Amino acid sequence: MSPTGSSNRQEEERVLGYWLDYLIAVKEEASGLSLQDVLMFATGLKEIPAAKLTPKPQLTFQKNSRFPEANVCSNTLKLPILPSYEMFEEAMSYGIRNSPGFGLF
């Protein structure tokens, strides 16, 4: 995250709250997706390995794209910085639903 007190940090903290709310909605199946779908998008895996996920998953933030991006080699999920939860939820769901998913969806 950006340095404490910066405007970027405030935006990132807001989006992190959106992310947590989004995961709750997915868990409750309110979004039409499953946590397995989110895991597949972010890591390329259908389930969490018994030992551990390597490398350790990371979240980053991006202003240059409306949709989430994932790098499955580094287990990095890039969350879009959007002004409202509704826009965030729509972008996340659209991005995850429309990702190739390595043909495993």
- 1 found inside a domain: no
37 neighbors 22 (Cβ within 8 angstroms):
no
Number of domains in the chain: 1
- 57 found inside a domain: yes
- 59 found inside a domain: yes
- For residues 11-19, give the mean pLDDT: 96
101: confidence class by pLDDT, cuts 50, 70, 90: low
Question: What radius of gyration do the chain's Cα atoms show?
Answer: 14
Among candidate residues 83, 60, 57, 87, the one with its CA nearest the CA of residue 72:
57
pLDDT at 90: 96
pLDDT at 102: 56
- 26 found inside a domain: yes
pLDDT at 105: 45
Output the pTM of the full model: 0.87
Among candidate residues 60, 81, 82, the one with its CA nearest the CA of residue 71:
60
41 neighbors 101 (Cβ within 8 angstroms):
yes
**Domain span at residue 19?**
7-103
Q: What is the pLDDT of residues 30-83, one digit of tens each?
A: 778 999 999 999 998 888 888 888 899 999 999 999 999 999 899 999 999 999
- Here the CATH number for the domain that contains residue 85 is 3.30.2410.10
